[in-house]
Amino acid sequence: MQEFKSLKDIPEQDYFTGGSSACAGCGPSLGLKLALKVLGPETIIINSAGCMTLLPLYPNTPLKASWIHNAIENAASTAAGARHGLDVLGNGDMNVVVYAGDGATYDIGFASLSAAAAKNERIIYICYNNQSYGNTGFQWSTATPYGSETKTTPRGKENPTGNTAVNKDMLKIMGAHRVYAATASLAYPVDFLNKLGRAKERDGFSYIELLGACTAGWNYDPRLTIKISKLAVRCGMWPLYEIEHGMLNLNKDFSELKPVDEFLKMQGRYRALPPDGVERLQALINEHWAELKEYNKQRYV
Amino acid sequence: MREEEIPYKGIEGIPVIREPGSAAKVNRGSWRLVRPVHNIEKCTKCKICYIYCPDAAIDWTPDGPDINLTSCKGCMICAEECPTGAMTEEKEGA
Ligand SMILES: Cc1ncc(C[n+]2csc(CCOP(=O)(O)OP(=O)(O)O)c2C)c(N)n1
Ligand code: SF4
Ligand code: SF4
Ligand code: SF4
Ligand SMILES: [Mg+2]
């Protein structure tokens, strides 16, 4: 596929319509709309239970591609099965794509994801990461960042930090499976869709993790979905990079990161995070960024 | 019951949606408190509003963006991201 150079190159064809019950301004919905521009209608999407499960709500669907509602535990296994079945039927050109939340990816469905990646199944696994169990009311997942409030990590007198755990380094984990692994952002659609285009042509497993800004859970005005997504990249909360054959490639390099405070103050989930919490989060970000800079263009995992 | 005794019912009864994109006819306009208004004179046809609409409520035409008020939920991402001020906000029902 030819690489897109600017927004103007992105196809004008959509395989996604309005009318879903997702929140106004929903980041993960936008991610799927964009992805389908590259994937096209000859695609089977396997979705683990989560917010996106409510997109096709009988008798209507916003999708112009096929969709399988799957359990949280095994979207990757279903995808591998679909891939093998299609190949046997001579349908090798059909795309098999998982669209799964972070809870399904990092936690509940991790065993099946790991197995499919280790076997290098020819599927594209997109994790839309809203950094929580969003659909059930914003509970903590192992993708939740340090300092975020969630339903199960409330901020209070005894624990002013909210979430005190540091999120899993999922990119490194997937990179260590020796598959293609990349992060992506809604605010950088050209980068996201080029990564997807490359994944589509790969003869093996691809993992793309899209930060899915969530207006309801992150608690911000829906108009800010893109601004917040962009700040996440600019302040190093969500660096854009890819790992292939264990080698690291930093896609967006900056001479200086913006302070994380700018990102935090736009969202209710970080409201009242005390200064020492902000400091610790900034230190975690700086550490990760320094690591990415150090290993850029080198063996990383 | 042994397996061969279980009567096979095919896919009858399992809900299958056969019309791709049928949700386009669902009215989400009632969710809006504010609506986007497009001012063609200020528009540079940069496509930003079209790309970023999460509900595909903006169609791209030779004249630029065309807002579909059945699908538009009034998130205002389009107005927030428009670099020229061609997409503005109006109170619903005003
Ligand atoms: C094994 C299992 N546990 C719990 C649930 C209930 N459940 C349904 S959706 C959901 C949230 C999933 O979170 P995530 O994968 O991050 O997707 P999101 O809702 O954030 O889009 C949960 C916990 C379930 N369906 N299956
Ligand atoms: S809760 Fe978040 S992820 Fe779920 S539909 Fe709303 S905005 Fe989208
Ligand atoms: S307000 Fe939101 S839903 Fe409506 S057209 Fe603009 S971006 Fe799309
Ligand atoms: S973002 Fe603004 S200038 Fe660009 S196409 Fe839309 S309305 Fe026109
Ligand atoms: Mg989630």
Determine what percent of chain A falls in helix, strand and coil, rounding each to the nearest 5: 40, 20, 45
pLDDT of residue B1: 45
CATH superfamily of A7-295: Thiamin diphosphate (ThDP)-binding fold, Pyr/PP domains (3.40.50.970)
Residue of the CA atom closest to atom 6 of ligand 4:
B49
Say if pTM beats, i.e. exceeds, 0.90: yes
Chain B hits for A56, Cβ within 8 Å = 17, 23
The tens digit of pLDDT for each residue in A48-67 reads: 999 999 999 989 999 999 99
How much of chain A, in percent, has pLDDT values that exceed 90?
Answer: 99
B80 Cβ inside 6 Å of ligand 4: no
Separation of alpha carbons A35 and A79, rounded Å: 17
pLDDT digits (tens, 9 = 90+) for B31-44: 999 999 999 999 99
Cβ(A147)–Cβ(A209) below 8 Å: no
Q: Domain segments of chain B: what residues?
A: 34-94
Amino acid identity of residue A269, one-letter, is: R
CB of A129 within 8 A of CB of A212? yes
**Among A47, A202, A198, CA closest to A126:** A47
| Tens-digit pLDDT profile for residues A91-108 | 999 999 999 999 999 999
Give pLDDT, residue B10: 60
Measured from the Cβ of residue B7, the count of other Cβ atoms closer than 10 Å reads 5
Domain residue extents for chain A: 7-295
Could you list the beta-strand ranges (E) of A119-192: 124-129, 180-185
Residue B8 pLDDT exceeds 60: no
- Give the domain B34-94 fold: Alpha-Beta Plaits (3.30.70)
Measured at the CA of B71, the angle between CA A194 and CA A53, to 5 degrees, comes to: 65
> Residues A8-24: pLDDT tens digits?
999 999 999 999 999 99
| ipTM attached to this prediction | 0.97
Residue with tokens 């103050």: A265
Cβ–Cβ contact B15 with A under 8 A = yes
Predicted pLDDT at B4: 59
CA of A238 to the centre of ligand 3 (A): 25
Task: Over range A271-289, report the average pLDDT.
Answer: 98
